[in-house]
Amino acid sequence: MTDNQYMTLNNGVKMPLVGFGTWTLRGEQGKQVVLEALAAGYRLIDTAHMYGNEDIVGQAVAESGIPREEIFITTKLCGTRAGYKLACQGIEESLDRLQTDYIDLLLIHEPYAEAAEMYCALTEAYRSGKVRAIGISNFNAREYLAFIENCDIIPMVNQVECHVYYRRKELQKTLETHGTKMQAWSPFTEGQKPIFHEPILQALGKEYSKTSAQIALQYLVQQGIAVIPKSSHRKRMEENLNIFDTTLTAEDIAQIHQLETGKTLFGWYDD
């Protein structure tokens, strides 16, 4: 991967702009899909306690033959590890299941009431070298601003729902003001919208010899948003990575922005 395929976090760590999401993957078949993604060129693999598949991600990374330092592993602590001691325990569990000495990015999965306590555990793990970067997930702007009031370390990433129908420009602006990068889960809407058949994306895809999916990802990446698409098909995996040879114009981006609804498709937020 070349430099333009990474973003630099507020602590200098470089994170791939396009990662591979794993939330539906389980068992041996799931492990094979992760191995396929790594073979296709993905170097960021996104998992979580909640997904119940950190073990197969760890196995795939170990079996891939790719040096550990070349792979960026993200995982998240969920509500079963809400609290300082429970979060400390959760970090050790993740390290064990992932078969690694360190996690590249560790997030708090939701804005739990105990998020501040959990973040103390993340901060300690970061300072001890068990984690290279720390952050949060699914925090809206109000929750984020309240959260960072008591943070020794500003979160490096906020991973949130973001796609062409829910661009969240104001949230990104708030995050960037304080040094936090935005990363998009559900860049293809998880089937909630017929994004691959969206006429605007299809027309631009035809113009640039790209798929609607590639245009949808390029739209976000070009505006400084990292993305975590999912696919179990090798051809689509490769297509989702192959977006860095295209530059959308300001007019193209304005066209796509017409798709904005300002509404979550998953009911996570009250922006």
Annotated catalytic residue 219 = no
Say if 271 falls within a structural domain.
no
Q: Helix and strand tally (H, E) in the chain?
A: 10, 10
Task: Show the domain range for 182.
Answer: 3-193
pLDDT tens-digit readout, 104-160:
999 999 999 999 999 999 999 999 999 999 999 999 999 999 999 999 999 999 999
The CATH number for 82's domain is 3.20.20.100
Residue 182 has pLDDT above 80, yes or no: yes
Number of domains, the chain? 1
Q: In what order do the strands lie in the sheet with 20-21?
A: 20-21, 44-46, 72-77, 105-108, 134-137, 157-161, 181-185, 226-227
Residue 4 has pLDDT above 90, yes or no: no
- pLDDT-derived band of residue 3, with 50, 70 and 90 as boundaries? confident
DSSP classification of residue 108: E
Say if 249 falls within a structural domain.
no
Say if 245 falls within a structural domain.
no
Helix (H, G, I), strand (E, B) or coil at 95: helix
Helix (H, G, I), strand (E, B) or coil at 105: strand
Say if 252 falls within a structural domain.
no
Query: Residues in the chain, how many?
Result: 271
- pLDDT-derived band of residue 42, with 50, 70 and 90 as boundaries? very high
Say if 236 falls within a structural domain.
no
* 189 neighbors 216 (Cβ within 8 angstroms): no
Query: Does pTM top 0.85 for this prediction?
Result: yes
Say if 199 falls within a structural domain.
no
Marked catalytic residue, from 51, 119, 126, 144: 51
Say if 66 falls within a structural domain.
yes
CA distance 139 to 184: 12
Residue 12, CA atoms < 13 Å, CB-side half-sphere: 0
pLDDT tens-digit readout, 119-135:
999 999 999 999 999 99
Say if 181 falls within a structural domain.
yes
